Amino acid sequence: MTTLLNYIKKRTNANCIWLMRQAGRYLPEFRKIRAENSDFIKLCLNEDLSSEITIQPLRRFEVDAAIIFSDILLVPYALGQTVSFKKDYGPILGNLNYNQIFKAEERKFLEKLNPVYGAIKKTKERKELKNKDLIGFVGAPWTILIYMLNRKSPKNKDIIHSLNDRKFIDELLKIIIKFLKLHIENQIKYGATIIQIFDSWAGLLDMNNYDKYIYEPTKELVRFTNSKNTPVICFPKGINDYKQYVNVVKPDVISIDYSVDPKEISENIDITVQGGLNPNFLLGDKEELKTNVKKYLDIFKNKQYIFNLGHGVLPNTNPNMVDYLVKLVKNYS
Ligand code: 1CP
């Protein structure tokens, strides 16, 4: 029985926890592999190493799920845009070749991402994953669109001006949605039991643009995923109105960021809530962490709540603090 999935389906009443970015960056065993693999995309496309990195946190911590080691930017990569990562800078994407993107073929896309599906299949078969969920994921259409157009992390709202060429943007968005569906479908086919949609840049948009760029495209992905009998966790980081988002997009679980008041969320949202704790608390002392973890657990005590952070584990986090956090949550009553 997988805890997280059964919890989402309201069949168990456990204290559930997993962490965004639980695999990677802050773990010495990941750093060792990373030091030997300078090309990050290649590392994501190495079935054995990707599967190994995926289960690394499960060897250390009693988390209820693994998230496949991959990246949201593998989708632009598989559509033909080059993607590389520069140390201390972030992702760098190549020029958008319109002809290539607009003519992208499903077969070629799947061929490029085949190792991700292979890694999912391999991970599912590992003993560490017994009774645990494997979370597959995609970037939300809006976040992928932004990376493809801006070709690096958007630092501010200036990028919104480049949305002026409406016809082109509409076409690009359609292609992104089509291929995100294909990627979701195949992650499920090879063993992902839950899908998380990361909308890391939702906070860049004004509310009058939500419908077109966030609500409608994401709703389409949620419906599609649900039609494959698979629940969806949505993380629209920085969005103005979580309640409206839940009402319109209708995910199974809503993952909240650290800027929102959890009390307000617990009073106004009826579906399963995930996350919220500021990842910075993992950098401080144990007492402060404990107080804040307890705050979230107390607020959501009589609700469906999956413990997680309000964004990913930071690279300079001490794994001992993560261990302490997981134990706090598991022992809470
Ligand atoms: O240099 C390195 O060692 C690579 C660091 C790294 C890692 C470990 C990147 C580069 N991506 C990942 C893995 C990753 N990315 C995972 C799997 C591991 C896990 O979660 O346990 C996941 C789920 C992601 C998702 C992801 N990638 C998001 C959404 C979540 C978020 O943090 O908001 C985003 C925005 C990306 C893009 C990305 N990948 C990597 C970087 C440095 C970035 C850019 C972040 C930014 O623009 O600020």
Q: So what's the pLDDT on residue 262?
A: 97
Q: Is the CB–ligand 1 distance for residue 72 below 6 Å?
A: yes
Kindly state the average pLDDT of the residues 267-294. Answer: 97
Kindly state the average pLDDT of the residues 37-43. Answer: 96
pLDDT in tens, 66-105: 999 999 999 999 999 999 998 888 999 999 888 889 999 9
Residue 226 has pLDDT above 70, yes or no: yes
Active site residues: 21, 25, 34, 71, 147
Kindly state the average pLDDT of the residues 44-70. Answer: 98
* Count of structural domains, the chain: 1
Report the CATH number at residue 248: 3.20.20.210
Q: So what's the pLDDT on residue 156?
A: 72
Residue whose tokens read 């290649």: 42
CA of 71 to the centre of ligand 1 (A): 6
pTM equals 0.96
Q: Indicate the average pLDDT of the chain.
A: 95
pLDDT in tens, 109-142: 999 999 999 999 999 999 999 999 999 999 999 9
Q: Is the CB–ligand 1 distance for residue 25 below 6 Å?
A: yes
Kindly state the average pLDDT of the residues 203-211. Answer: 92
Q: So what's the pLDDT on residue 87?
A: 85
Q: So what's the pLDDT on residue 329?
A: 96
Kindly state the average pLDDT of the residues 275-283. Answer: 98
Q: Which two tokens stand for residue 239?
A: 């969005």
pLDDT > 90: percent of the chain: 88
Q: Is the CB–ligand 1 distance for residue 54 below 6 Å?
A: no
CA of 301 to the centre of ligand 1 (A): 31
pLDDT in tens, 146-178: 999 999 998 777 777 667 778 889 999 999 999
pLDDT > 70: percent of the chain: 99
Band of pLDDT at residue 315, cut at 50, 70 and 90: very high
Judged on CB neighbours under 10 Å (0-12, 13-18, 19+), 316 is exposed
Band of pLDDT at residue 1, cut at 50, 70 and 90: low
Residue 225 has pLDDT above 90, yes or no: yes
Contacts of 229 (CB under 8 A, 6+ apart): none
Q: Helix/strand/coil (H, E, C) string of the chain?
A: CCHHHHHHCCCCCCCEECCCCCCCCCCHHHHHHHHCCCCHHHHHCCHHHHHHHHHHHHHHCCCCEEECCCCCCHHHHHCCCCEEEECCCEEEECCCCHHHHHCCCHHHHHHHHHHHHHHHHHHHCCHHHCCCEEEEEEECHHHHHHHHHHCCCCCCHHHHHHHCCHHHHHHHHHHHHHHHHHHHHHHHHCCCCEEEEECCCHHHCCHHHHHHHHHHHHHHHHHHHHHCCCCEEEECCCCCCHHHHHHHHCCCEEEECCCCCHHHHHHHCCCEEEECECHHHHHCCHHHHHHHHHHHHHHCCCCCEEECECCCCCCCCCHHHHHHHHHHHHHCC
Q: Is the CB–ligand 1 distance for residue 153 below 6 Å?
A: yes
- Residue with the smallest CA separation from ligand 1 atom 9 is 71
**Distance (Å, whole) CA 172 – CA 176:** 6
Q: Considering only CA atoms, which of 112, 133, 150, 227 is closest in space to residue 181?
A: 227
Q: So what's the pLDDT on residue 66?
A: 98
Residue 43 has pLDDT above 90, yes or no: yes
- Residue with the smallest CA separation from ligand 1 atom 44 is 90
Band of pLDDT at residue 313, cut at 50, 70 and 90: very high
pLDDT in tens, 236-264: 999 999 999 999 999 999 999 999 999 99
**Distance (Å, whole) CA 75 – CA 309:** 25
CA of 267 to the centre of ligand 1 (A): 32
Q: So what's the pLDDT on residue 160?
A: 72
* Structural domain containing residue 141: 3-331
Kindly state the average pLDDT of the residues 210-239. Answer: 97
User: How many CB atoms are located within 10 Å of the residue 263 CB?
Assistant: 13
Q: So what's the pLDDT on residue 164?
A: 74
Q: Is the CB–ligand 1 distance for residue 51 below 6 Å?
A: no
